[in-house]
Amino acid sequence: MRDIGYRHQRTLASEVILDGTGLVTGDRVRLRLRPAGPNTGRTFLRLDRPGSPRVPARVPFVTGTQRRTSLGSPASGVIVVEHLLATLAGLRIDNCLIELDGPEPPGLDGSAAGFAAAVVRAGATLQPARCPIRSVPSPLVVSRGNSTISVHPAREPGLRVTYVLDYGWPGPIPPQTFTTEIDPETFVRELAPCRTFVTEAEAHELRAGGVGRHLGRSDLLVFGSRGPIDNRLRFADEPARHKVLDIIGDLALCGFDLAGHVVAYRSGHALNVELARVLTTLAVAATPIPVVRRSA
């Protein structure tokens, strides 16, 4: 990879506290976001565990990508981190201590809108340390089956993300594509309000496995044969937008700003994190790379 620029790191200007219920566990949890010094990164602390173990939000600490991104061990780690990390990355909060008294952040309404509103209210402070902005010198593609995610080079700082959602035909969700530039204003307006979603069949499967039993149909964006059940879309392409939100959260695990154009087709957390892993490895190696095709 190559550095094409930098910006000064940022942290919160004041603390953020949010209470809520976890999407997966259904347990009440309190989230506290605290300002942190330069080069701290985004770090989770499990206050409900002895010694308040720390779990850095970085690729080496990923332990699960099945339907959500998980960090750390089952006993002291954190699950469903993607919406919160997307918010911090989308609003360019580089250094933050994330304190939790449970295994997951509050699920809120399944979107990042509540996180984003709280962070905007808290404000941000510039720090003297620099955050590198990096790009690939040539296209990089990671694939698994008929799903792909790629990143294409940038000539200047800035990230664009395109997501192509395709459940096939006939499917519970129509094919849709969404493309956007990623910056704080766009994140708050176009991505943060977009909720996590499942098909009706997936919802039954998750509930049978003990996940989300506390949620009703109106609490989650569930798609049946005729569209959302007991709910209304906030955007016509809300599912594709939420997938972009997930990508921002998963790529935040790189620990640097990525510049270029990310294009994803049917990608999920596993493929997103694999791309983040490849990019992190290349950044550490800091050597030129050819056009690469990797199978996850």
Angle among Cα 79, 83, 85 to the nearest 5 degrees reads 85
**Is residue 250 within 8 Å of 276, Cβ to Cβ?**
yes
Residue 122 host element (H or E): helix 113-122
Whether omega for the bond prior to residue 170 falls within 30 degrees of 0, making it cis, is yes
* CA proximity to 285, closest of 137, 151, 156, 143: 137
Cα dihedral value 208, 211, 214, 220, nearest 10: -100
The alpha-carbon radius of gyration of the chain (Å, integer) is 18
Say which of 83, 242, 261, 269 is annotated catalytic: 269
| Distance, CA of 70 to CA of 166 (rounded, Å) | 25
Q: What is each CA distance from 225 to 194, 197, 222, in whole angstroms?
A: 21, 14, 10
DSSP 8-state symbol, 95: B
* 261 assigned to active site: no
* Residues involved in catalysis: 269
